[in-house]
Amino acid sequence: QVQLAESGGGLVQAGGSLRLSCAASGRTSSVFHMGWFRQAPGKEREFVAALYWSGRSTQYAESVKGRFTLSRDNAKNTVYLEMNSLKPEDTAVYYCAASRGAGNWYYVRTYNDWGQGTQVTVSS
């Protein structure tokens, strides 16, 4: 099992920036994808971005392309989501997730382990 701990959420004005962190521990050698999802009140959890744990490929939802950037620090087993030009519609609880096998990284069901989530609120 992989344990994930998110941090970095908060309240920001529209146009502002936040950086989320996701620290992984446990069986990190088994991780295939690391992804970020978000869930707004009354809505389903949706894909935001993901990367291959052992490679360089990344993928972003259309709604965040050009504004959000994934990066990682292998030494710290930590993935970062840099969020710029934030909009009120980005308001949600953001979850970090890890998959321990190949699968479509857009799908919630691909991921085996989840963090507790961190709230991001963007005011207009």
Q: Give per-residue pLDDT as tens, 28-81.
A: 888 999 999 999 999 999 999 999 888 789 999 999 999 999 999 989 999 999
Annotate 25-94 with DSSP letters as a single string. EESGGG--EEEEEEE-TTS--EEEEEEETTS--EEE-TTTTTTEEEEEEGGGTEEEEEE-S--GGG-EEE
Query: What would the pLDDT profile of 5-21 be if each residue is shown by its tens digit?
Result: 999 999 999 999 999 99
Query: What would the pLDDT profile of 69-122 be if each residue is shown by its tens digit?
Result: 999 998 999 999 999 999 999 999 999 999 998 889 999 999 999 999 999 999
